[in-house]
Amino acid sequence: MSGDSLAGKVALITGGASGMGAATVRAFVGAGASVTLIDRDGTGARRVADETAAAVVVGDVSDADFCDGTVDALVATHGCVDVLVNAAGVIHRADARGTTDDDWRRVMSVNVDGVFYMSRAAVRHMVPRRSGSIVNFGSIWGGVGAAGVLAYCASKGAVHQLTRAMALDHADDGVRINAVAPGEVDTPMLASGRDTPPTDADLAQLAEETIPVKRLAQPDEVARVVLFLASDEASYMTGAVVPVDGGFTAR
């Protein structure tokens, strides 16, 4: 892919303060996009912005008014929003018995509501221009089950279906909507929420035992797929959920 594949494009990336979201910010800036990142973590967001010259908006995507206002302000400043990447996400590690109402609602409000609110706000501006691309972050756990992450699995399955349904709604509007479905990626989320934080050796063993390519993904490997889906090089792709999982779901 050319180094200027998003040259002149205006992009909005949620969850851009760390992990795959931050890697996507770096990839998009490197491809020539004007990037604004959103995150609740203002310190982390500003750190990424300092590295990349991206703009920062601090806030919570589970708030519909915040999403509408942020997208409207971006369009007022730049004239449009060409690309939205919904990378913000949270995880709760528990079965049903260990998932409280608040736990369930928080996972769903960020992982599902946030994707919906941001996407709804973006397509309001994309459809009249008959141009735009949205890339959502799903997960392998949105397509297959996993023990101990009930709410997360349910939320990512919803993201996959939201992606497909919105893609069909806007297939004739010039707006493409796709998703990536990462596997195990070396990010802070992978180690978070566990009773005992895993060591590097633990993570290496996890990869050896569960991933066909025998290693964890690096965030930039996922970001490159997001960049492709967002760009005109994926012009005939919409409604796709693309695994980036080292062969995990091929089995």
Query: Which is the catalytic residue, given 66, 117, 152, 248?
Result: 152
| H or E segment and range at residue 87 | none
What CA–CA distance (Å, rounded) separates 112 from 88? 10
Distance separating alpha carbons of residues 199 and 196, to the nearest angstrom = 9
Query: For residue 91, which of 13, 19, 149, 22 has the smallest C-alpha distance?
Result: 149
Q: How far apart, in whole angstroms, are the C-alpha atoms of residue 98 and residue 96?
A: 5
Dmax (CA) of the chain: 51
Q: Is 236 a catalytic residue?
A: no
Put the strands of the sheet holding 241-244 in their side by side order. Answer: 55-58, 34-39, 10-14, 83-86, 132-137, 175-182, 241-244
Active site residues: 152
